[in-house]
Amino acid sequence: MSTLEKQIQIFDTTLRDGTQAEKVSFSADDKLRIAKRLDEFGIDYIEGGWPGSNPKDLLFFDKAQRSKFGHAKIVAFGSTMRAGSQPESDPNIQALLKAETPAVSIFGKSWLLHIHTSLRIAPDQNLELISRSVSWLKSHDKEVIYDAEHFFDGYRDDPDYAVQTLRAAQEGGADVLVLCDTNGGTLPDEVSDVVSRVRLLLTLPLGIHAHNDSEVAVANSLAAVDSGCSHVQGTFNGFGERCGNANLASIIPNLQLKKKYRCVPEQNLNRLTSLSHFIAEVANVSHQNNLPFVGKSAFAHKGGVHVSAVMKDAQTYEHIDPGVVGNQRRVLVSDLSGRSNIFYKAEELGLDMQEHSDDVPAIVQELKRLENEGYVYEAAEGSFKLLMQRMIGEWQDFFALEGFRVIIEKNADQPTRSEATIRLNVNGHVEHTAAEGNGPVHALDQALRKALVKFFPEIKEMHLSDYKVRVLNENAATGAKVRVLIDSSTDGASWGTVGVSENIIEASWQALMDGVSYFLMQRGIEPRAETHLAETGVSLSDERKAKSVW
């Protein structure tokens, strides 16, 4: 069978092995949501957990029994029976049966070190435990995936015995034998050599389960497939204990796009990025920007020479079309930017710079100057668009600050109190108001909104979704300059703005002001004084409804 036709079984263990990562935890409902998405994507096996280890996994399997899966098989995980027990009474084996999944994965020992120090039994007894456990589960109509734990370490120590453990599982009736690099210390050339040797000694399909302790888990998985494995285990986003497991979000596109194996339905591959983000969101962890294929930076271009080339032909600096995996190209603006970055970014932001091409060199120089002061626009595209509009003369002020004051009051045994007062000029009308907040920035944000809402009631629809502070010159201690990045959002749209100052409140004000201004600009709203509107009897909501561009 050619590689163009060969199907690779994809076995996801995000819900089991992935939860051993620090800061990753899923409820039973979380697991079910993720399992549904994995099933829709086309994953063949979804390992849901260890039903013998905790009530949460038992609850997941109960919920899974009452749910329908269109493609994937739900898998319960456990170990071989304990020494001295019988399969019909062994708690772990019985828990696997109680989960009522069509397939089970069980692990057994391959390394004599573990047999002597952990199990403290004779090597022949370990072989019996493997064979009897597999055989018992097969007698109950289970598809059995046998995980040969620490196989590569065991093979390095005693290759004959390591292979004997696989034969024991094969004789018990296992459906696939998975070679596990549990410590993550094996390199791709050794993986290739071992898989090539082992496949000549056994008749069952082989699988690979790699950990990333040497940062080669994906490479090891690809090497194993090239050497004869047809079953690949991993987790999405590389979640897992210590340094994580092999990342399926990288393995799947590498196998399918580069090596022409079939892993998931071709029409589903463009869901890869959204699936990766979804799993990170449910896990409540940040999605890494630098993840290959699915990360925000995977197809981001910063250097002017690179951007110029990409604009001519994307293949110059992109190994695949980002859209194939559901990602998108991004051009960043920074002190490394050239004319190409500005033109590309302007088009992306809806600005026609062709009529203002003479202004581009000045924009580039201003960008370099501001970044030298600490501003960054890679995550603040809202502020960058406003900057360009100011420099080409298309900027229109919605309001002007006349002044603000922020008071923080702390009395003994009382919560800290923050209050902000603000004076804004909106088209000749001065609005003076105050508001309290959880902290000084929150109070300033509330006062700004309170002052503007009668002129621009639409701002009720936007909200601050993230706030980050970065100290730029730590050696200056409490007098250091800080950069504030604010993310705002509404109706599925989001934008970032930035402010820089030695005063954190001033930096926050810059970012807050840009955030509101960008929102009003995107809505196509024109500054109008409340008094004028009252005189004409025109409703703000009626007048602006047709102008909304979001």
Q: Is the pLDDT of residue 346 over 90?
A: no
312-323 confidence digits (pLDDT tens): 777 887 799 989
Q: Is the pLDDT of residue 537 over 60?
A: no
Mean pLDDT of 327-355: 64
Mean pLDDT of 115-123: 93
The pLDDT confidence band at residue 5, using thresholds 50, 70 and 90, is: low
- Identify the pLDDT of residue 284: 81
Mean pLDDT of 364-369: 76
Q: Is the pLDDT of residue 529 over 50?
A: no
Q: In what order do the strands lie in the sheet with 463-471?
A: 463-471, 482-490, 493-501
Contacts of 534 (CB under 8 A, 6+ apart): none
- Identify the pLDDT of residue 328: 79
The pLDDT confidence band at residue 143, using thresholds 50, 70 and 90, is: very high
The HSE-up count of residue 15 (CA atoms within 13 Å, CB side) is 31
Q: Is the dihedral of CA 436, 441, 447, 453 positive or negative?
A: negative
- Identify the pLDDT of residue 535: 37
Across all residues in the chain, what is the average pLDDT? 87
Element holding 510 (H helix, E strand): helix 504-522
Least confident of 33-42, 76-85, 405-414: 405-414
The pLDDT confidence band at residue 336, using thresholds 50, 70 and 90, is: very low
Q: Is the pLDDT of residue 303 over 70?
A: no
- CA-wise closest residue to 263 among 14, 9, 13, 36: 9
461-496 confidence digits (pLDDT tens): 998 888 888 888 766 666 778 989 898 988 878 888
Domain 9-264 homologous superfamily, CATH: Aldolase class I (3.20.20.70)
Q: Higher model confidence: residue 70 or residue 545?
A: 70
- Identify the pLDDT of residue 337: 52
CATH of domain 400-545: 3.30.160.270
Q: Give dist(CA 515, CA 498) in Å, integer.
A: 9
Tokens 């952990």, residue? 118
Contacts of 393 (CB under 8 A, 6+ apart): none
253-285 confidence digits (pLDDT tens): 999 999 999 999 999 999 999 999 899 888 888
Q: CATH 3.20.20.70 region(s) of the chain?
A: 9-264
Angle (nearest 5°) at CA 213 between 211 and 219: 60
Least confident of 140-154, 219-233, 296-310, 431-445: 296-310
Mean pLDDT of 68-72: 95
How do 482-490 and 493-501 pair as beta strands? Answer: antiparallel
The pLDDT confidence band at residue 539, using thresholds 50, 70 and 90, is: very low
Q: Is the pLDDT of residue 540 over 50?
A: no
- Identify the pLDDT of residue 318: 79
Least confident of 135-144, 245-254, 271-280: 271-280
- Identify the pLDDT of residue 21: 95
240 torsion bin: left (phi>0), alpha (psi -120 to 50), beta (else): left
Q: CATH 3.30.160.270 region(s) of the chain?
A: 400-545
Mean pLDDT of 160-169: 98
* pTM tops 0.85, yes or no: no
